[in-house]
Amino acid sequence: MFGEKYIMRSFLLTGVCAASMLLALTPVAQAADIDVGPASHGIGWYVSVFGGWSIADTDIEFSTTTAGSDVIDAEAELEDGFMAGAAIGAYFNDWIRAEIELSGHWHDVDGEIVTTPLVPGTTTTADLDGDADATFVLANLWLDVPVGNVIRPYIGGGVGLGRLDVDFDTPAGTNGIDDSDWAFAYQLGGGIAFGLTPNIGIDVGYRYKVINDAELEASAGGSTVDVDTDYKSHNVLVGLRVGF
């Protein structure tokens, strides 16, 4: 009797161990049928807003000779100002994202205009005051470096169109520029994004932005003068990115 119980107990124990091993090996067997490859995350969308300091590197100059035989030379400089903008973009993978940007830059203008008679006379100087605005519509491509879930350095740039709008003149309002033009534009830059949450990040960056060869019309001595100028600025910005 004792022998039968012992044999029965051994049989049950063996069955339990076999069932346990079978249950333990079942997930492994199932996993062996799964293709273990990189998961496709698809396109991830994001929006960002940003603003900061815009350091202009732009001079506007023109010169002409009037019918009264006066030489008029004007030189104006864009002062440091500020910039702001927004973008909507998409992540194609952990390394590459693209976006469409709309941004504006605002500067005061300071300069002077000198009138020199070709015949004996008195040279006069007048101040030039006003403002200049630059608007950018750019398609950007950025290369992210995913060093972690919190910090993402990046570099890149973009191309598109830029509008330079200049409005400055003398106190008498007789000489100056009040004109605007669209031209080819681009930017280069980089920065570091810091994740606050899985979907929200702060972006600290730098942009070098250019509007190339804008054509403006100046008024000087009762006549008009064509002026070709480039807008250039160095920009330090802070932004908020949703969809980080």
State the chain's mean pLDDT as an integer.
84
Nearest CA-CA partner of 102 in 43, 161, 150, 179: 161
pLDDT value of position 148: 78
Same domain, 48 and 30: no
Burial string for 175-194 (b: 16+ CB within 10 Å, else e) reads bbbebbbebebbbebbbebe
* Residue 39 belongs to some domain of the structure: no
* Residue 101 belongs to some domain of the structure: yes
* Residue at 147: amino acid letter: V
Q: What is the pTM of this model?
A: 0.79
Same domain, 30 and 73: no
Same domain, 54 and 28: no
pLDDT value of position 47: 97
Domain count, the chain: 2
pLDDT value of position 122: 84
Q: What range does the domain containing 25 cover?
A: 1-34
pLDDT value of position 121: 76
pLDDT value of position 172: 84
Q: Report d(CA 89, CA 161) in Å as an integer.
A: 18
The residues of the chain scoring below 70 in pLDDT are: 1-42, 67-68
Same domain, 25 and 63: no
Burial string for 47-83 (b: 16+ CB within 10 Å, else e) reads ebebbbebbbebebebebeeeeebebebebbbeebeb
Q: Report d(CA 75, CA 197) in Å as an integer.
A: 49
* Residue 175 belongs to some domain of the structure: yes
Same domain, 57 and 28: no
Same domain, 92 and 140: yes
* Residue 102 belongs to some domain of the structure: yes
Number of neighbouring beta carbons within 10 Å of residue 222: 10
Number of neighbouring beta carbons within 10 Å of residue 205: 20
* Residue 161 belongs to some domain of the structure: yes
C-beta of residue 218 within 8 angstroms of C-beta of residue 178: no
Q: 133: which 2 tokens?
A: 């605005």
Q: Which residues contact 156 (CB under 8 A, 6 or more apart)?
A: 140, 141, 142, 143, 188, 189, 190
Same domain, 66 and 4: no
* Residue 60 belongs to some domain of the structure: yes
pLDDT value of position 120: 76
